[in-house]
Amino acid sequence: MSRISLSPSTLLAPVPVVMVSCAGKDPRKIETRPNIVTVAWAGTINSEPPMVSISVRKSRHSHQLICDTQEFVINLVSEKLAKACDFCGVRGGDKYDKFEEMKLHPVEMENLRYAPAIEESPLSLGCVVKDIIELGSHDMFLAEIVSIAADPALMDKNGKLCLDKAKLISFSHGEYFKTGEKMGFFGYSVASKAAMKRRMPGKTVKKKEAGKSSVKKERSAKSDPTKKSVKTGKKK
């Protein structure tokens, strides 16, 4: 099969699209009031300490705010927030109070001094900037996650975070998408029948997936990153 050659571009897909909230040192001034910028160039870059990156153009109003305080909050986007997310990606914070326009609420974020979280987001990551790398069109902010705030509705009765309940959206080639149905979990290709039954109830286990070559015993918490993550997520 021959494949078509396309010119190099930012076609990694799907990617998360997030609402990054920030503020300057004086939230009462228009220039430094709490703001939201939509970012698709975001990613996890380290496990210990937990770190993320966001790439932001120098021309964005938020770029200045983040440089001034060295703080920002990454707010995950649910289906309910999709329109607000798009709006915050097409209007500048120098002209619009995006919290007000979208009827969103800035709330204090643990371990941060200036940047607020968006109360309506299912999960917010408080970030402190560690480094800024100038790449060309965008500056990449490398940041440590210093706090997490989650909607209590996402926790099960054992205190485990169930992020699948958040109805998060993704971004692919210029378009927003709902998250699909769960189809597996970390290591499911080699999981035992028992693990499949427990983690994917209702899914028929085919011999190929959990037959002869499958791992007989479930891996210990030490070797299975999914077991280590009790409250906030998976470690990779």
Ligand X SMILES: Cc1cc2nc3c(=O)[nH]c(=O)nc-3n(C[C@H](O)[C@H](O)[C@H](O)COP(=O)(O)O)c2cc1C
CB 35 within 8 A of CB 98: yes
Segment holding 53, helix H or strand E: strand 51-57
Window of 43-51, 52-60, 117-125, 179-187 that interacts with ligand X by CB under 6 A:
52-60
56: contact with ligand X by CB under 6 A: yes
> Is 80 or 193 the residue whose CB approaches ligand X more closely?
80
Alpha-carbon separation of residue 133 from 141, 142, 146 (angstroms): 7, 8, 20
Applying the rule CB under 6 A, the residues between 159 and 218 that interact with ligand X are 171
Q: How far apart are CA 68 and CA 114, in angstroms?
A: 10
- Least distance from ligand X to the Cβ atom of residue 57, Å: 4
Gap between the Cα atoms of 127 and 73, Å rounded: 6
> Site for ligand X (CB under 6 A): how many residues?
21
- Residue number, 32 or 55, with CB nearest to ligand X: 55
Site for ligand X in 70-129 (CB under 6 A): 86, 89-93
Nearer to ligand X by Cβ, of 62 and 78: the residue is 62
Determine which residue in the list 19, 23, 34, 37 makes contact with ligand X, applying CB under 6 A.
37
Distance CA 112, CA 33 (A): 16
Select the span of 30-38, 74-82, 184-192, 198-206 touching ligand X (CB under 6 A).
30-38
Q: How far is the CB of 117 from ligand X (least distance, A)?
A: 17
d(CA 207, CA 124): 40
To which residue do tokens 């015993």 refer? 217
C-alpha–C-alpha distance, residues 84 and 234, integer Å = 28
Residue of minimal Cβ distance to ligand X? 89
Smallest separation (angstroms) from ligand X to the CB of 49: 23
Residue 26: how many other CB atoms lie within 10 Å: 10
Handedness of CA 189, 191, 196, 199 (dihedral sign): negative
| Contacts of 121 by beta carbon, 8 Å cutoff, 6+ apart | 19, 75, 76, 77, 78, 81, 151
| 33 makes contact with ligand X (CB under 6 A) | no
Considering the rule CB under 6 A, would residue 17 count as an interface residue with ligand X? yes
| Burial class for 234, CB neighbours closer than 10 Å (0-12, 13-18, 19+) | middle
Among 19, 23, 40, 52, binds ligand X (CB under 6 A): 40
**Residue with Cβ nearer ligand X (51 or 85):** 85
Residues that bind ligand X (CB under 6 A): 17, 35, 37-41, 55-57, 60-62, 86, 89-93, 138, 171
